[in-house]
Amino acid sequence: MFTKSIIVSLGLCAVLSAQNFDTFLQEALQTSPYLKANALEIERAKSQASLIQRYKNPTLSLEASEFSPDVGKNKAGYRGALTQPIRLWGIGDDREKLGEATQNRAKSLVTLQRAEFVKTLALLYIKYVRQDAYVELAQEALGIAQNIAKISKERYEAGTIARVKYLQAKVDALSAKNRLDAKKADKFSSYYTLLAFAGQKEEVTLESDYRFVLAKKNNLEDSAQLNFMKSTQTKLEKEAALNSHKIEWMNVYAEYEKEPQQSIARVGINIPLAVFNTKKEEKRIAQLQAKQSKYFIQNQKTVLSYKLTQLQKELQILNGVIHSTQELYVSQKELLLMYEDGYKIANIKLIELQNIKNQMIQTKEKEINLQNKINSDIVLYNYATGEYNE
């Protein structure tokens, strides 16, 4: 799923070695309370499926009677009746299918929640990596600014530049230090946000550079979103099929009655008459919901299809742009060193040196943002194609 590229120690806690993203992800998948709670949905759906298919309990009626004739002694009698609701033909099969659809929907929901968890965790990690790169860049910018300030001080003391130039370089170095502190704060914020979402109880040191690998599949057959929507549609269809039965139950009863002069045994059925309540509305509602779900699936399939195309083309362009940006950065860094040497011997003005420094920093920041965009696009592409389902 993910391939390691460069190991960079975080230094946030006393851990001997940095943890790669694969290990961090697997631990999160095993320990996350959020995922554990979601997994219970399958057990709940299993119980609900049993509830849907469950038979109604029988009813036992017992009566005692006392007969008082006009002449003679009182005599006792009794009556016992047993009633059992029985499903009509075809109801059991429809209830079983609805139970299966309920369980399948729960499984697809848990899969979707897992995929979304991996996607979100990966995006939070990518954000952390970007903030870490910003800190490194800010440290590099501070080092350059301090070096320029040092040269400016030496030239000021030698009398080759005015004091205002030295102060300008000194202020620039102080500003660089301020930016570094701000970037460190952003890094800590993204780090702890990542740990909180992962459900980590202890701080860990993370490798701060990873190359995310694009999934080889280019279709939506395994899309967790679409599969969940399809399972929801199936469940609604099964509900409509069950509601198409106007009557689901009838009562079969057996009765025995003992009177002083006779004994009576009865067997019969009670059949509800679907006169006022034909479940027409329930059936229609379920059918409309299933039809709505069908259109939603068609729409989402179109949206995701275009999204995959967009991400593929975007990644092709971004890979070319980042390559040229990296080349530009190397050239600007080489030029900066030449400008620094020229500034030492007064061949280059301070403003020219600072301009090339700022350009180099901007180029590196652009490279960081491009890499962040590439990694984010890969994660979104993999999520859409079902790479994070299992």
- How high is the pLDDT of residue 70? 66
Say whether pLDDT at 2 is over 70. Answer: no
Query: pLDDT category, 71, cuts 50, 70, 90?
Result: low
* Residue 336: count of CB within 10 angstroms of its CB: 18
The mean per-residue pLDDT over the stretch 51-72 comes to: 84
Say whether pLDDT at 13 is over 50. Answer: no
- How high is the pLDDT of residue 273? 84
- How high is the pLDDT of residue 121? 96
Query: Architecture of domain 2-56+90-245+279-384 in CATH?
Result: Up-down Bundle (1.20)
Say whether pLDDT at 181 is over 80. Answer: yes
Indicate the SS3 state at residue 269: strand
- 139-154 burial, b if ≥16 CB within 10 A, otherwise e? ebbbebbbebbebbee
- How high is the pLDDT of residue 208? 83
Bridge partners (DSSP) listed for residue 87: 249
What's the chain's average pLDDT? 88
The mean per-residue pLDDT over the stretch 327-348 comes to: 88
Helices (H) then strands (E): counts for the chain: 7, 6
Give 253-299 pLDDT, tens digit per residue.
Answer: 999 988 877 888 999 988 888 888 888 888 888 889 889 999 999 99
Q: How far apart are the first and last CA of the chain?
A: 11
The mean per-residue pLDDT over the stretch 146-169 comes to: 90
Phi-psi region at 11: left, alpha or beta (left = phi > 0; alpha = psi -120 to 50) = left
Query: pLDDT category, 64, cuts 50, 70, 90?
Result: confident
- How high is the pLDDT of residue 3? 38
pTM reported for the whole predicted model? 0.84
